[in-house]
Amino acid sequence: MSNDKVLANMNRWGVIMSKKTMKQMQQEVDEYISQFKEGYFSPLTMLARMTEEVGELSREINHYYGEKPKKHTEKEKTVEEEMGDVLFVLICFANSLDIDLQEAHERVMKKFHTRDKDRWTRLEEKGEESE
C-alpha cells in the first residue's frame, strides 16, 4: 500500500482504519478480552458499564448540543469517542451472552420494515401532501 493510501486510511490517532463487519468487530473484541484472566464481566456489571458509558455520551451531547457548556477544567472528549466506548461495551455485552449482533440487527430491521412500516411519514408522502 502506498504512503498516500496508508495516510488516507488512518484515523486521527494514526490507527489504520478498515471497514469491518459486525462479526469481525465482535471477534476483534473477543480476541482482546480473551487475553485477560478476568474475561468478560457478569451481565449485571456489563449493564452498569453500559449505563456509565451512555451517561458519558449524554454529558458530551449536552456539552455540544445542549445548554451546559464544559467547564474550562474539563477534559476535552468527543461524541465520537463516547459512541465508540458505548459500542465497545455493547459488543462486550453481546459477546458475553453469545449474541450475534448482526443477527440481532437483521431481526430489528425486519421489525421496523413490517410492524413499523407505516408509523412514520415517508419523504415522498410528505411532498405529495403539500401539493
- Give the tens place of pLDDT for each residue, 45-104: 999 999 999 999 999 999 889 888 877 787 777 899 999 999 999 999 999 999 999 999
Round the average pLDDT of the chain to a whole number and report it. Answer: 86
pTM of the model: 0.76
Residue position matching grid coordinates 463516547: 82
Name every residue whose Cβ is closer than 8 Å to that of residue 57 and which is 6 or more positions away in sequence.
79, 82, 83, 85, 86
Tell me the average pLDDT across 19-30.
95
Between 127 and 124, the higher pLDDT residue: 124
